[in-house]
Structure formats: C-alpha cells, structure tokens
Chains A and B, each alone.
Chain A
C-alpha cells in the first residue's frame, strides 16, 4: 500500500499535447476514480502511473519514490485492462501465479496465494481452464485475481467493467468495492461512467480535454460542482442549464430571455444584469402552484419515478418527480426548483458563481 502523488504531469505525443499539467494526491488505501468523457486522457494518465507511457513533464511518486524513469516491473503495481489481457496459453491458475513465478516465489507459496485469491473471487473450480473457456464475467474475475494475488502497492483499473452486460456490471461494481474494503489497497480506477464513479469512489477526479476539472468526494461534486462541465457530467439525468441574466433589483432572481423569473440560492458575487447560466438538477424540481408555468412535451414514467420534459419559455427543462403524477403532453404545469438547490455559472468561463 502506498500513496500516489501526481505533480504537474504532462503528456504529449509529438507535437500534440494530450495532458496539460495534472495534479492529484492519492492517499494510502484510497479508492480514486478518474472519470471524464472519451478522449480526455484518463487512460493515458493511468498508463503513466503504470509506466506504460513516458511522462513528458512533471513527476509521479508512488510511496515517496519518484517513478518517472522506472520500468513497470519495478513499480509494484497491478493493472486490470479493459479487455482483461489474460495470457491465452496459460491456465487460470498460471495466469494468476505468473507474477509470483517471475519473482521466483516458491511453488508452494504461489499455490496457496493463487488458491486464496481464487476463493475470494469464487474461481476455485476454474483454475485449470484456459481463458478461452471462460465467460466474459469469469475472465474479468481472473483479471482481478491476477491483480490481487500480488498484494501490490497500487491497483490500476482501466474501464474493467465496460465489456460486461448491464446486470453483471452492477454486480461486479459491488464486488470490486467489497474487495477494496477488505484489502484496503490504494486503487486508481478509470471509467467514463459517472454512476460507477459516484458509487465506488472515495474521491473522484473529473477530467476533461487533458486537464482536471475538479477533485472531490462524490457527493461534494454532486452538491458543489466547481463549473458547468462537472455539473453537467456528474448526475443522471444531467443538470438542466438555462440561459439568462441575474436580476438584483427587488428580490434577487434569475431571468430567462422570455422574462420568466427563477429563484436564486445565494446571489452573492454577481452583478445586476450579469449574463449567466442557471443550473438545476431534474430531481430538484418540484410541482408548485406558485411556480413558473411549463408546457409538458414528453413524459417518461419508469415506475419509481417519472421524467417530464417540459418547456419553460423557449428553453427545455427536465424534471424528475418521485410522486405518481400523470400529465398529458401539451398540458401546462407549474414547477419550481427546491430552495437552495440551484446553481449559477459564469456564461463565458462556466465557473460556478458564488
């Protein structure tokens, strides 16, 4: 187990810079999720921690030691790949024991450790099979088994669940989390799925176009997104954004171009008439006789909740209600955000305004 420090790390392929100076501190035993849209550089960053990519600038430390020039084999890390990368010509047991064999561990020790890892992952009955004789979910487990047999300083996962079907993914999510609670090994986990990030992480690093947008605990990011990108990325369905202006004459409020007024949570740090983006999560909308008028476009009931797409003036807004409400398309309803759960972002920079 170890800490991982990432300091001003940059990566360029030739003239194309893909990571522009990233700082992340990972504490001992922490489960950190790197999340962001496709192409934002998550895998590249993870692979730099693993030593599979050169570091173009900055510094990475694993447990106090700078690893920039260190080959992967000396970093004492284990990695689980998206396509599992099981060695096709080795049985499950050989796959799991490979790293120990390379370190010339005694045969008996390899066997006990493989057996113990196999028990944890319920792979006992598959030890003599070859990877091609396994289902996708079983391969995934073997890949994890190969990682935990080693008892490494750090686990690295690159989208390990994205090749599984939806149900299995949820199950493995729980299993990985349980495994971490049991082993307490420092873990860096890459995903583009924000639900995975929210449910598994101690700490989330939101990346976008090669920079870190925000680092924080899952609920921190949900409650206090630092900018419009994080606000839109975290949470599902994503946050509504409405364009308009801040009005401070009389009651502080947000006014859309159609003249519809919406309440502001904390109107500090803004000027009267300042153009801004108003953010409110679908699940923070409620029906309210005093609210603004909205015309229902579509309703999508799922049983537990109902998603209503409605029009406020010229802009669309999604509302998620937990009550059993039935609205007909075209109907006009009155809705309002729950007090103190709205956000305001700078129109140009997207930064959260106080």
Chain B
C-alpha cells in the first residue's frame, strides 16, 4: 500500500507464516490418504479408504447435520437479537447505555470453563441436555456480546440522516429500519454470521459437555470420540478432520470479499 514493491523480508515473513499454517494441514492430508495405521508408517500407499469409512461407516453424516442445524439456528438467533440490540444501542439514548455495552463485553470475557458446571446443572434441570435447543441457546448467549459490538459499530457508520430522509419520505420508524438500515447492514450481517457459524463449527468444550450422546454430537465432538471409537486410527481421524474443514472453508471462499468489507467498514469512515 505504501510502495509498489514490498521489501524482501516481507515475502520471507509471509512465506514462513504460510508454511506454518499449511504444513500441519498438508501432513494431516497425507495421513488421511494412508490406509495403514500409524503416524509415521510412511508406507507410500495412498487411497481414499479412510474417507470412505468416515463418510459411509461412521456417524459423521449425522454429526454434520447436527452441526449445520445448530450453527444455522445459532446464526439466526444471534443476528436477530444482535441487530435489534445494536439498533437500540446505536440510535437511542437511554440511561446506562454505555455501562450495559461495557458490561456485555466484560461478561463475554469469562472463560468457558468457569461457567461449564453451572451451565450443565442448569441444562440438566431444564431437561435440555443432549438437545439442539440447549446448544443454540448457549452458543447464542456466548456470541451475542461480540456480535452486538460488531453490528453496533457498523450501525454507527450508517448516517442517521438516511433514516430521517426515509421518515420524511413516508416511512414509519420500523419501515425505515427495514427498507433503509437493513440493506446497508448486509455486509455486516454476513461478516457476523460467518464468524458465528465458524465458532459453532469449531466449538468443542460446551458441545461435549452438554450434548455428548452419540446421535447428538457435533463434528468436533464426533472427531474427539473417534479416538476411542476407532482405537487410535489416525488415518480415519485425519480424514474426518479434513472433511470437517470443508464447509467453513467453502463459506469463506464464497463470502471472503463481504467478510473483509464487513469487518473494515465499521472501522474506517
């Protein structure tokens, strides 16, 4: 951005970072193609046997379905609540507004481990263990503060005059929100939605604590149980891991432009 050609050390840095990021993945990939056991077998034989057994002879498909359902509902709930909250926090003045926002941020910094036991007890009491609902509720609560902050900063960058112009043009307050504010918010919603989706996809601790029953597992939990289910069949675990990366990777590929735009739009301007 500052000059036409980056200095040599920038390339070196990027190269090292890339190798650091790609090497484990590459190793994982090779491992997943090895039909024999053992991490260091290096048999030189490659096949898709591991993939076949992960996809067709395990519960992986069910885990994918579970994760997708939970992720989509979490995204939906989080975005709905966060959008409405962000609108209120951005457009209305009310006593304690900033205190509430800071409080939310602090609350979101609590380590998961600290609330795990009470969460489990609560879920058990409500008879919600091993359901989609409890995962959606807890994930939504967990993601709400960050999403609220992201969307509020996004909302703050939308000039209030746009809504005022719509009010004068004949909209009600709600009409102006739907017709004018929401369309401006789309990049922010996409970015926030993607972040939440990927969070759910990667989440493990909450998921394993609240929904560990075999048919209710999320992908991450399923992979973890492979360690015991298959013995230590590294090839299959590797294949499962590779497969589980695919959906978020595809989402990223499709949405990366919106994501970058969405994340930076609130900051600049």
Q: Mark A residues whose CB is within 8 Å of B.
A: 50-52, 71-73, 75, 77-79, 81-83, 85-89, 98-99, 102-103, 146, 150, 156
Contacts and interface: CB of A to CB of B under 8 A. Distances in A.
B170 A99 contact: yes
A88 B184 contact: yes
Interface size class of B (residues with CB under 8 A): 10 to 19
B38 to A, nearest CB: 57
B253 to A, nearest CB: 25
Interface stretch (B10-18, B158-166, B221-229): B158-166
Nearest to A13: B93
Contacts of B180: 87
19 contacts: A52-B164, A52-B167, A77-B168, A79-B164, A79-B165, A81-B161, A82-B161, A83-B159, A85-B162, A85-B164, A86-B165, A87-B162, A87-B165, A87-B180, A88-B184, A89-B183, A89-B184, A99-B169, A99-B170
**Which 9 A-B residue pairs are closest in the complex by CB-CB distance?**
A85-B161, A102-B170, A99-B169, A85-B165, A72-B167, A89-B183, A73-B170, A81-B161, A79-B168
A147 B44 CA distance: 74
B164 to A, nearest CB: 5
A72 to B, nearest CB: 4
A335 B263 CA distance: 66
Contacts of A78: 168-169
A103 B165 CA distance: 15
A81 B166 CA distance: 12
A13 to B, nearest CB: 10
Contacts of B242: none
Interface centre among A85, A88, A99 (most CB of B within 10 A): A85
B167 to A, nearest CB: 4
B162 A73 contact: no
B101 interface: no
B168 A103 contact: no
Contact of B171 (A52, A82, A102): A102
Nearest to B183: A89
B180 to A, nearest CB: 6
Contacts of A103: 170
Contacts of B161: 81-83, 85
A188 to B, nearest CB: 13
B183 A73 contact: no
Contacts of B175: 102
A73 B166 CA distance: 8
B169 A102 contact: yes
A73 B169 CA distance: 6
A77 B171 CA distance: 13
Interface string B181-217: 0011000000000000000000000000000000000
A260 B265 CA distance: 64
B167 A51 contact: yes
B169 A146 contact: yes
A52 B164 CA distance: 7
Interface centre among B166, B167, B169 (most CB of A within 10 A): B169
A236 to B, nearest CB: 30
B258 to A, nearest CB: 14
B164 A81 contact: yes
Contacts of A72: 164, 167-168
Contacts of B166: 87, 98
B172 interface: yes
Interface centre among B164, B170, B183 (most CB of A within 10 A): B170
Nearest to A149: B169
A3 to B, nearest CB: 19
A116 B141 CA distance: 53
Interface centre among B162, B164, B165, B180 (most CB of A within 10 A): B165
B165 A81 contact: yes
A98 B171 CA distance: 10
A143 B198 CA distance: 42
Contacts of A98: 166, 169
A83 B168 CA distance: 15
Contacts of B159: 83, 85
Contact of B172 (A51, A73, A77, A88): A73
